[in-house]
Amino acid sequence: MADIIQRQETVPQTLSGARFDQAASDLFPEFSRSRLQTWIKSGELTLNGTSARSRDKVLVDDELVLKATLKAEGNWQAEDIPLNIVFEDEHILVINKPAGLVVHPGAGNPAGTLLNALLNHNPDQETIPRAGIVHRLDRETTGLMVVAKTLSAHSNLVEQLQARDVHREYDAVVLGNMTGGGRVEEPIGRHPRQRTKMAVLQHGGKEAITHYRIAKKFTDHTHIRCFLETGRTHQIRVHMAHIRYPLIGDPLYAGRPRIPKGASETLINTLRSFPRQALHARKLELEHPINRDTLSWEVPLPEDMKTLLAILAEEDKR
């Protein structure tokens, strides 16, 4: 039996004047832009009760109504890629993602992704939007992700994320000695010139809020815990760089490795060779989408970050 999805959203002031497909992408973030455009063309996604074109403009309080049959979204192939499964039932799957695993196929990464692994693990997920993926981690970020296995679970998890009811906590190691925790509330959008980067934008960015506190201070570095209210692309990396505490190993936002004066050879080599941003999704808490139980998971730091922290601790003993 085909899955039917029904959703309705009202255009807010912030999207007034946007293209129909752009507004739909913002209001139905669980679906890809190409899938939404297909539904617009077929008349399954309507504007104020009538068919419209993707390029048509929407106005505040316009109604977008989606009633569509879900089919396989892309020509994705199942691939036998191992998954580190932390929790699974018939509705959701929680994994501990390793570094180096891309979450979703895209330009430059057509295969070998978490999505391909999910289709191998459970082929029925091909009709669920993005094969059940409701949030992402950057390629080199490790840690916890939740994936929906059914359409009803998917809809509920998306609602929880939009309502900011999903608690996500990260470990990060940053350059510089922080004096205390804090809160960064700065809008984030695509960098105006370097399109592979995100940036804090005073105009046109989306709301982004990151809380952070100190887990351990070192002489020239700090181990912090970050808590997300929003989930923008590269959010922690952009916000920490913005307040001048970029993540160790971050190729996009930290620049060249900063070597503290008088650093040992071990620390110098470690900082220069650390292979990725020092960021790990350590804790995830949410309401089960079906039985409404509060569920929480934690996973330990990966070995590379454990080693990094151990070397920083040894350096402080010198």
Catalytic site residues? 138
Locate all alpha helices (DSSP H) within 164-234, ordered by sequence.
none
Q: Classify the C-alpha dihedral 96-98-99-105 as positive or negative.
A: negative
Residue 233: how many other CB atoms lie within 10 Å = 15
Residue 33: how many other CB atoms lie within 10 Å = 13
Helix, strand, coil percent values for the chain (each to nearest 5):
25, 30, 45
C-alpha–C-alpha distance, residues 280 and 217, integer Å: 18
Cβ(66)–Cβ(88) below 8 Å: no
Cβ(217)–Cβ(309) below 8 Å: no
Reduced to 3 states (helix: H, G, I; strand: E, B; else coil), residue 128 is coil
C-alpha–C-alpha distance, residues 2 and 71, integer Å: 8
C-alpha–C-alpha distance, residues 144 and 130, integer Å: 17
C-alpha–C-alpha distance, residues 29 and 190, integer Å: 17
C-alpha–C-alpha distance, residues 237 and 245, integer Å: 9
DSSP state of 176: S
